[in-house]
Amino acid sequence: MSRSQNQQILLFKKSFTLLEILVVIGIIAVLVAMGTASYSTAQKKARDAKRRGDLKAIQNALEQYYSICGYNYPFSSSGNLPLTISTTNPPCSSATTILTVPKDPLGGYYRCVDSCSSSAYTICPPASVNGGKMLETADCSDKSCCVSNQQ
């Protein structure tokens, strides 16, 4: 064999086979799928953390309103949470606690369940935007994810 033929054989032997390339592509695809699943789970947990924080903030604001405005909770005439302080019932001119009620991270509104009045409330995340569940990463069918009046 001549020297140029030996060089051509060495060059050919240094390349990857089709099978090796397919194996590497398969491994990369599996890693991408695992990363996507982890990212999706992290997003759900972050939205649930925001929901719990929003519910706690709403509860704190309602309790402050209760203390400031004659021991009544603010609710609209329809029995829902007021979206702004100007739509509260009973009206309270000195209230500076609730400016606007936060929206759920997926766009729904937090809702009153059972009895919501000027004397009691239970507020839960909107189940309609989460596929029928109150939280995306926990089962809260027993209202353990909701907040209630502390008085």
Q: How confident is the model at residue 84 (pLDDT cuts 50, 70, 90)?
A: low
3-state secondary structure of 145: coil
Please indicate, yes or no, if residue 112 is contained in any of the structural domains.
Answer: yes
Please indicate, yes or no, if residue 11 is contained in any of the structural domains.
Answer: no
pLDDT of amino acid 85 = 56
pLDDT of amino acid 74 = 77
Please indicate, yes or no, if residue 6 is contained in any of the structural domains.
Answer: no
Q: Are 74 and 88 in contact (CB under 8 A)?
A: yes
Please indicate, yes or no, if residue 12 is contained in any of the structural domains.
Answer: no
The residues, any chain, with a CB within 8 Å of residue 44's CB and separated by 6 or more, are 136, 137
Cis status, amide bond into 102, omega within 30 of 0: no
Q: Given a cut of 60, is residue 86 above it in pLDDT? A: no
Dump pLDDT digits (tens) for 101-149: 788 888 888 888 776 777 888 888 887 666 667 788 777 766 778 888 8
Tell me how many domains the chain contains: 1
Please indicate, yes or no, if residue 5 is contained in any of the structural domains.
Answer: no
Please indicate, yes or no, if residue 116 is contained in any of the structural domains.
Answer: yes
Q: Are 111 and 105 in contact (CB under 8 A)?
A: no
Range of the domain at 47: 17-148
CATH code, domain with 67: 3.30.700.10
Please indicate, yes or no, if residue 3 is contained in any of the structural domains.
Answer: no
CA angle 45, 51, 55 (to 5 degrees): 150
Please indicate, yes or no, if residue 115 is contained in any of the structural domains.
Answer: yes
Dump pLDDT digits (tens) for 17-29: 899 999 999 999 9
